[in-house]
Chain A
Amino acid sequence: MTWSIPPGARAFTVELARTGRHCNVAADETIVQALERIGVVVQTSCQEGICGTCLTTVIEGALEHHDQVLSDSERAAGDVMCLCVSRATSPRLVLDL
């Protein structure tokens, strides 16, 4: 894997709207890794923000995109993200999972 978490990344909380589960995403881990820690496996492939396998609908939260998949208009809309590389800039992120 060639992608790494950018310096200065901050921790935040992820909530899963369909199940009500939640977890903290530490500054040095990805959302995929944090969810795996609580037993939620997200379908992934490249884990570099290229393939789009982990695209997920966002219900609430401000985003910091690090993928190469989304268009400019999708980034601006802020309602979908790649969980393998992208992060929240708000303290709370709610996903359609």
Chain B
Amino acid sequence: MQAVRLSDTHLRIEQIADGVGLVHFNDYFGKGRSVDTEPQAFLVNLETPGALLKVHMHDVDQFQVATRGNGRIGAHDWQPVSVQYADAFTAYGPIVRGDLGLSFHTIRMAAGGGNWKMPEARSLMVNGRPGRNVTARVDPTQPLPPPGATTREYLVSPHDDGLAIAVLRLGPDARCDGLEPAGGQYLLVCAGALVQGDGELPTESLLLVRAGEPAPRLEAGPQGALLLVMQFPRPSARKGSDPSTMGNRAGSYVSVANHITPLNP
């Protein structure tokens, strides 16, 4: 298991055309726009009022979690803490920044190879049909359990291939085992903090559990912890589900590369 605090992330600033504007990215895992088979997770901060990401798709399975501000994804309100999962080659959006701003985590088990806009990209869909596109919301204001106690709730019950979304609530100083990772798993600290060694993993820390690793052993700090568990599907013959088959993709970001202007190294 690897863990990264928001304060330890790398800041990447870009100006993106096509209605998106200025974006501050916080890279937790992976190397920004690099296309490889390693896990990739970053926080997207839409800085420009009225920012809009048009309906699009990616070539990898992906979770996205709204963690600050407000807005919408497609026709659905998107407020903290809302989570969306889309299979590879499944279009979603548009994502629209609300008047409070909008920040969301993008989470993948392999780096995305591009951003393909709809409807032009429909030919990339499997048999012209979309895959799974599910949303769920966690209420971050719900009280945590008493000291030492834990609860587990599935927002999306495990699918046959392991896809699942769960919430773990740990009371102050509580300990528990996480879920066995299927195709890999991320845990986002939505409230409170976890204990790691001599330090803490505060809110907006992100933990990565790779496929084949044991379920993580978790320990809450004195204020407890609210964890969102995002469980990826196991690799299969489904297009875009198996990171080990993605090594032959182009070495540069596809489709929107000429619309992006990096503003820092």
Contact = CB atoms under 8 A, between A and B. Distances in A.
A68 B55 CA distance: 12
B87 to A, nearest CB: 11
Interface string B3-33: 0000000000000000000000000000000
B73 A52 contact: no
B74 A46 contact: yes
Interface in B117-156: 118-119, 122, 125, 128-130, 132-134
Interface string B190-217: 0000000000000000000000000000
Given A45-B55, A46-B94, A51 B130 contact: yes
A50 B118 contact: yes
A48 B118 CA distance: 11
Contacts of B76: 45
Nearest to B91: A51
Interface of B, helix, strand, loop or mixed by DSSP: loop
A50 B91 CA distance: 9
A50 B55 contact: yes
Nearest to A1: B75
B201 to A, nearest CB: 32
Contact of B133 (A1, A43, A67, A74): A43
Given A43-B133, A45-B55, A69-B122, A52 B91 contact: yes
B93 interface: yes
A23 B90 CA distance: 29
- Chain A interface, >50% SS class: loop
Contacts of A69: 118-119, 122
Nearest to B132: A43
Interface in A43-79: 43-48, 50-53, 55, 67-69, 74
A13 to B, nearest CB: 24
A44 B75 contact: yes
Contacts of A48: 55, 75
B130 A47 contact: no
A47 B134 CA distance: 14
B104 interface: no
A82 B141 CA distance: 37
15 contacts: A43-B132, A43-B134, A45-B73, A45-B74, A45-B76, A46-B74, A47-B74, A50-B91, A50-B118, A51-B130, A52-B119, A52-B129, A52-B130, A53-B133, A68-B119
* 6 nearest A-B pairs in the assembled complex, by CB-CB distance: A45-B74, A47-B75, A51-B91, A68-B119, A50-B55, A45-B92
Interface of B: 55, 73-76, 90-94, 118-119, 122, 125, 128-130, 132-134
Interface of A: 1, 43-48, 50-53, 55, 67-69, 74
